[in-house]
Amino acid sequence: MSESSERFVARPLSGACVDLLARAEHACLGISPFNSYFSVQRIKGLAVWAHERFEQVDFFVPDAPSAYTFQALGYASEKAAWKPRRQGQHTRNRNRTALDMLGVAEGAGHVWGWAELEGNASFARLHAEGHELYAGDEEFRRACREVRGWVLSGRLPAEAVPNVRQVECAVRYFLAELPLFVDTPAIVGAETSVFCYHRPSDILRRLYGRQLARHPAPVQGFAVVVPLE
């Protein structure tokens, strides 16, 4: 496998994640469609790092859920859905290009987007559970509404306060991703998994710190993966 000039370091998000990261059985790399951080070179570097360290590697591209962000910004539903589809495909192509550069065969680095997830029974169950908890648990609902700062960061005018509709759109985006944060193994068929991303939100720190009504499965970990300086 080819080498990348960029190296990475992984830090477990909580004490419970330490052993799962050490086991290195499966990594799920979060790749955001509308984030310039994820260049082809960066994705290649992450792929090299992950394939060297973990037995199995998958990519998660939150393409369709990004429509909620554009709805929050006032885009009509049709355009709000079209932009993530186009950018999501572009991001998928970047993933595939990076893997081709490494000589990773098709299927060896699976890319999970909405098209794959919506037909997955475990994902559907976990997604529904998240919505039910949001509707029925006040503390969890308050925590979810705090994601507005994370989801809408840099997208609203400075000092703008999101309205109720924008907050609910941000929440729907988070709830669409939540299944991968709480039980990726159930979705992809792995024994254990570590979700890898460079910038965790406060709610993820609380989630993995078991401070919310919803807890990650014992086989689910999270690692903050950043370039090695």
Q: Mind listing the pLDDT tens digit for each residue in 24-54?
A: 999 999 998 878 889 888 999 999 999 999 9
Residue of 206 and 163 predicted with greater confidence: 206
pLDDT at residue number 3: 47
Alpha helices in the chain (DSSP H): 15-23, 40-53, 66-72, 77-102, 114-117, 121-136, 138-145, 148-151, 164-188, 202-208
At 199, which helix (H) or strand (E)? none
Q: What is the pLDDT of residues 98-131, one digit of tens each?
A: 878 777 776 666 889 888 998 899 999 999 999 9
Task: Work out the mean pLDDT of the chain and round it to a whole number.
Answer: 88
29 within a domain of the structure (yes/no): yes
Residues 56-89: tens digit of each pLDDT? 999 999 888 888 888 887 788 888 788 878 888 8
Contact 200, 13 (CB under 8 A): yes
Instruction: Specify the range with the lowest mean pLDDT, choosing from 154-163, 188-197, 213-222.
Output: 154-163
Overall number of domains in the chain = 1
User: How would residue 157 be classed by pLDDT, with cut points 50, 70 and 90?
Assistant: low
d(CA 64, CA 87): 10
Q: Is residue 1 part of a domain?
A: no
Is residue 70 assigned to a domain?
yes
Global confidence as pTM: 0.90
In a domain, 2, yes or no: no
Structure tokens at 160: 């703008």
Among 104, 12, 7, CA closest to 58:
104
Task: For residue 42, give the CATH number of its domain.
Answer: 3.40.50.11710
On the question of pLDDT at 96 being above 90, the answer is no
Is residue 119 assigned to a domain? yes
Structural domain of 52: 8-227
Model pLDDT, residue 26? 97
Q: Would you say residue 24 lies in a domain?
A: yes
User: Which pairing describes strands 220-227 and 8-12: parallel, antiparallel, or unpaired?
Assistant: antiparallel
Q: With respect to residue 197, please indicate whether it lies within any of the assigned structural domains.
A: yes
pLDDT band at 1 (very low <50, low <70, confident <90, very high): very low
136 contact partners, CB below 8 Å, separation of at least 6: none
Please check whether residue 216 lies inside any domain of the structure.
Answer: yes
- Measure the CA–CA gap between 10 and 222, rounded to whole angstroms: 9
